[in-house]
């Protein structure tokens, strides 16, 4: 009897503690009056009251979830198969709120994350910032959602924290383990590690999603940024964004910097294996891909009936077989268009099937308007073939408008064939070398000093050089007067700046040096520069100018290009180039004005533009902070929305 009484008291206390540790939030849970999550106890209440999983929630404070690290299983995911989360959750990260120190340790459970399972079309998870978290589960594991079978959207999600990690088995992702029918947009993942449990052979692991399928053909994944992310598995299908994508997955507008992907096979900077899906408008830089077997690529390890367009890769791949700067293998009527890879390939023993763009191009697949700069390490491990573009192009497949820098490949026997053209490093500075390239809307010759001092074609919309320039250019203007052209520019800061050069062209292909002005070396104050081109009158029509800045160590950077119509006195002027709201565009041509971000997204319909006498006024207040390119028929200029 005494023992029974003790047990009764024990269970009573346990239930009392559990009840005390969770607090019902204020609100009714309706869309107009959501439950207000102000403490971890409120979040715990949501987790443990499954009858409320169809309601609306709003975070109203920073949530410290340290209490979830209780030495046991930690936080219980919200939603499970058979009883999914069917409501809406607003993490209010736009107000600066985040959920920190969330701990989940459930290695024997599937569908693990802040939310375990979602299967409701109109469910929206948005504005959630998870920081310094540890999430462990079995299959379908992600920091935000373990598994999504149907949801309207997951958007404006941030994952951060140098100690943050997600560990699972099959289908493990930084954000979502398995995503079958949901749109994801505006995703930021930084300083996060995603790992497979190392004790077995598991598949599908990604920095954002482990496995993605778009069976409805109307969902997309877009606006994704990864910085300093590590994705690791002992087995197969690992990608910077997605481990395995199929069934018309559409992935676009991705920016990745400082990424490591490691697996046995099928490793890609973006997707491990891309099946019947598309990848567009992607920049991958400072990527390190490592496989012990085959299928390694800067964008995808294996491209099967996949479309890859408008992509750039800079980094290193260490692998053994089927290695390419863009795709290790491109197969089954796949296509790769408008792509460039500046890649170092570190060969393992008995390496074969290596190419600057793809390892092999098979089964009616096509490659067009691409170039590679390829450097091979450990050539002694090579037993198979190497191609500047592709080591193998079988019957029915086609490669056109393809170029590669053969400077570092002269000692190798290459297997490239028709449609593939070797160039010297000096050829790369001339648009005329790249016959068939679109230098009007896509490519532009320039430098990205972070990666190389060599001038090469880069996609216009992903020129990120101005983010870390030694010279902060406030403005750069041209003015037609006194029978010539005045060029004016101002700098706010200068670091290691030796001199400026002014170059002129009448066809935007052949440039001539017309002037040089000494820089300030190092300066933190406003400096004004002026140059007058007096040799204009005899050359009426289209005249282009560009500004080149040269460091003391010889590295150089090109700034924006201006077009002047000397016969009709038309010119483009934009000022200021750094503003939180209004900028002024002097353009007497009255031509359309467009604005793009550096990922190529068109923001023209998202800004206010009005005409005032001889200039247009554009308001940047409604668009996010960052660099943008303003373009008219007569020139383009970068501006910064601060």
Count of H-run helices and E-run strands, the chain: 2, 53
Band of the pLDDT at 16, cuts 50, 70, 90? very low
Least trusted range by pLDDT, from 2-11, 502-511, 525-534, 600-609: 2-11
- Cβ-in-10-Å burial (0-12, 13-18, 19+) of 642 comes to exposed
The answer on pLDDT for 559 being more than 80 is no
Domain residue ranges in the chain: 23-263, 270-282+291-461, 464-567, 570-642
334/233 Cα distance (integer angstroms):
26
The answer on pLDDT for 382 being more than 70 is yes
- Cβ-in-10-Å burial (0-12, 13-18, 19+) of 492 comes to middle
Band of the pLDDT at 563, cuts 50, 70, 90? low
Q: Which CATH number fits domain 570-642: 3.40.228.10, 1.10.443.10, 2.60.40.10, 3.20.20.30?
A: 2.60.40.10
pLDDT digits over 250-276, tens only?
999 898 989 999 999 999 999 999 999
Least trusted range by pLDDT, from 106-110, 406-410, 522-526, 593-597: 406-410
Residue 47 DSSP one-character state: H
Q: What is the pTM of this model?
A: 0.73
Band of the pLDDT at 106, cuts 50, 70, 90? very high
Q: What is the DSSP string of 469-536?
A: -SEEEEEEEEEEETTEEEEEEEEEEEEEEEEEEEEEESSSSSEEEEEEEEEEEEE-S-EEEEEEE---
pLDDT of residue 178: 98
The answer on pLDDT for 568 being more than 60 is no
The answer on pLDDT for 349 being more than 70 is yes
Indicate the SS3 state at residue 467. helix
The answer on pLDDT for 376 being more than 50 is yes
pLDDT of residue 17: 40
Nearest alpha-carbon partner for 309 in 378, 348, 367 = 367
Q: Cβ neighbours of residue 133 under 8 Å, at least 6 residues apart?
A: 99, 100, 101, 102, 103, 143, 159, 161, 164, 165
> Span 154-162, mean pLDDT?
94
pLDDT of residue 383: 94
The answer on pLDDT for 11 being more than 50 is no
pLDDT of residue 464: 39
The answer on pLDDT for 567 being more than 70 is no
563/164 Cα distance (integer angstroms):
49
Rank 225-239, 415-429, 461-475, 547-561 by mean pLDDT and report only the highest: 225-239
**What residue has token string 């000494």?**
518
pLDDT of residue 509: 63
Nearest alpha-carbon partner for 547 in 535, 556, 536, 537 = 556
The answer on pLDDT for 1 being more than 70 is no
Nearest alpha-carbon partner for 430 in 462, 461, 455, 460 = 455
161/165 Cα distance (integer angstroms):
9
pLDDT of residue 467: 40
61/99 Cα distance (integer angstroms):
9
Nearest alpha-carbon partner for 233 in 269, 193, 263, 267 = 263
Structure-block tokens of residue 279 = 């990848």
The answer on pLDDT for 222 being more than 50 is yes
pLDDT of residue 620: 93
Band of the pLDDT at 22, cuts 50, 70, 90? confident
pLDDT of residue 398: 95
Indicate the SS3 state at residue 394. coil
Strands 511-523 and 484-505: antiparallel
Would you give the end-to-end CA distance of the chain in angstroms? 73
Q: Tell me the backbone φ, ψ of residue 441, rounded to 5 degrees.
A: -115, -15
Indicate the SS3 state at residue 105. strand
Strands 484-505 and 527-533: antiparallel
Q: What is the DSSP string of 590-635?
A: ----EEEETT--B-GGGSEEEEETTEEEEE-TTS-SEEEEEEETTE
Q: Tell me the backbone φ, ψ of residue 41, rounded to 5 degrees.
A: -60, -35
CATH number of 464-567: 2.60.40.10
Q: Tell me the backbone φ, ψ of residue 276, rounded to 5 degrees.
A: 50, 45
pLDDT digits over 44-76, tens only?
999 999 999 999 999 999 999 999 998 899 999
pLDDT digits over 277-307, tens only?
999 999 999 999 999 999 999 999 999 999 9
Residue 125's CB: how many other CB atoms inside 10 A?
A: 29
pLDDT of residue 223: 87
pLDDT of residue 4: 55
Band of the pLDDT at 474, cuts 50, 70, 90? confident
Cα–chain center distance at 366 = 24
Contact between 569 and 537 (Cβ < 8 Å): no
* Average pLDDT of the residues of the chain: 87
**What residue has token string 């079995």?**
138
In sequence order, the β-bridge partners of residue 261 are 231, 289
Indicate if 570-642 has the same CATH topology as 464-567: yes
Band of the pLDDT at 96, cuts 50, 70, 90? confident
Helix ranges, 91-206 (H): none
Band of the pLDDT at 370, cuts 50, 70, 90? very high
Nearest alpha-carbon partner for 372 in 421, 328, 410, 335 = 421
In sequence order, the β-bridge partners of residue 210 are none
Nearest alpha-carbon partner for 625 in 639, 613, 641, 609 = 641
Structure-block tokens of residue 122 = 């109109």
Residue 430's CB: how many other CB atoms inside 10 A?
A: 15
Query: What Å distances lie between residue 387 and 25, 139, 339, 405, CA to CA?
Result: 62, 39, 16, 11
pLDDT of residue 466: 36
pLDDT digits over 496-530, tens only?
899 999 998 876 667 889 999 999 998 888 899 99
Angle at 231 between CA 225 and CA 236, to 5 degrees: 125
Q: What is the DSSP string of 266-291?
A: EEESSEEEEES-EEEEEEEEEEEEEE
Strands 183-190 and 221-232: parallel
Cα–chain center distance at 583 = 27
pLDDT of residue 459: 84
Contact between 442 and 310 (Cβ < 8 Å): yes
556/75 Cα distance (integer angstroms):
53
**Residue 128: its H or E element:** strand 124-131
């Amino acid at each position: 009897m005494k023992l029974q009484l003790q047990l009764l008291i024990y269970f009573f206390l346990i239930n009392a503690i559990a009840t005390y540790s969770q607090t019902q939030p204020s609100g009714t849970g309706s869309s107009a009056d959501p439950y207000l999550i102000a403490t971890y106890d409120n979040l715990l209440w949501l987790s443990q009251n499954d009858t409320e999983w169809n309601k609306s929630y709003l975070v109203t404070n920073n949530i410290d979830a340290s209490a979830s690290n209780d030495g046991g299983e930690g936080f219980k995911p919200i939603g499970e198969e058979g009883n999914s989360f069917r409501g809406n959750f607003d993490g209010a990260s736009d107000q600066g709120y985040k959920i920190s120190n969330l701990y989940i340790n459930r290695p024997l459970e599937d569908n693990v994350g802040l939310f375990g399972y979602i299967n409701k079309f109109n469910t929206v998870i948005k504005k959630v910032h998870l920081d310094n978290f540890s999430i462990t589960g079995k299959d379908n594991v992600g920091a935000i959602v373990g598994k999504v079978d149907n949801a309207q959207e997951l958007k404006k999600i941030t994952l951060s924290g140098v100690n943050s990690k997600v560990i699972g088995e099959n289908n493990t992702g930084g954000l979502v383990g398995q995503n079958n029918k949901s749109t994801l947009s505006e995703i930021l993942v930084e300083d996060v590690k995603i790992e497979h449990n190392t004790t077995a052979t598991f598949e599908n692991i990604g920095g954002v999603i482990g496995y993605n399928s778009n069976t409805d053909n109307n969902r997309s994944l877009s606006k994704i940024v990864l910085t300093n992310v590590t994705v690791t598995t002992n087995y197969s299908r690992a990608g910077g964004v997605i481990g395995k994508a199929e069934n018309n997955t559409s992935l676009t507008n991705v920016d990745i910097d400082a990424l490591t992907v490691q697996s046995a096979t099928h490793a890609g900077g973006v997707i491990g294996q891309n099946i019947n899906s598309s990848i567009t408008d992607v920049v991958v830089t400072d990527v390190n891909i490592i496989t012990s077997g085959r299928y390694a690529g800067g964008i995808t390890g294996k491209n099967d009936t996949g479309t890859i367009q408008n992509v750039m890769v800079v980094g290193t791949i260490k692998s053994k077989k089927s290695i390419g700067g863009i795709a290790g293998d491109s197969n089954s009527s796949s296509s790769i268009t408008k792509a460039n890879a500046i890649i170092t390939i570190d060969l393992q023993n008995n390496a074969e099937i290596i190419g600057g763009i793809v390892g092999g191009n098979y089964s009616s697949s096509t490659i067009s308007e691409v170039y590679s700069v390829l450097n091979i390490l450990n050539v002694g491990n090579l037993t198979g073939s190497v191609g500047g573009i592709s080591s193998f192009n079988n019957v029915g497949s086609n490669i056109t408008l393809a170029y590669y820098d053969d400077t570092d490949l002269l000692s190798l026997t290459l297997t490239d064939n028709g449609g593939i053209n070797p160039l010297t490093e000096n050829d790369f500075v001339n648009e005329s070398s790249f016959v068939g390239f679109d230098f009007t809307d896509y490519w532009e010759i320039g430098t990205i000093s972070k990666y190389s001092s060599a001038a090469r074609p880069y996609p216009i919309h992903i020129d990120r050089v101005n983010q870390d320039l030694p010279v902060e250019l406030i403005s750069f203007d041209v003015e037609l007067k006194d029978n010539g052209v005045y060029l004016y520019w101002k700098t706010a800061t200068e670091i290691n700046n030796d001199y400026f050069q002014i170059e002129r062209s009448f066809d935007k292909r052949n440039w001539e040096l017309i002037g040089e002005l000494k820089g300030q070396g190092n300066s933190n104050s406003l400096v004004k520069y002026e140059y007058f081109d007096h040799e204009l009158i005899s050359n009426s029509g289209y005249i282009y100018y560009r500004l080149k800045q040269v460091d003391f160590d010889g590295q150089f950077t090109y700034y924006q290009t201006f077009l002047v119509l000397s016969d009709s006195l038309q010119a483009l002027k934009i000022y200021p180039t750094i503003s939180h709201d209004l900028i002024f565009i002097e353009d007497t041509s009255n031509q359309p004005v467009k604005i793009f971000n550096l990922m190529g997204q068109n923001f023209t319909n998202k800004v206010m533009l009005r005409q005032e006498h001889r200039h247009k006024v554009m308001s940047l207040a409604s668009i996010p902070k960052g660099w943008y390119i303003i373009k008219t028929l007569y020139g383009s200029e970068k501006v910064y929305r601060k």
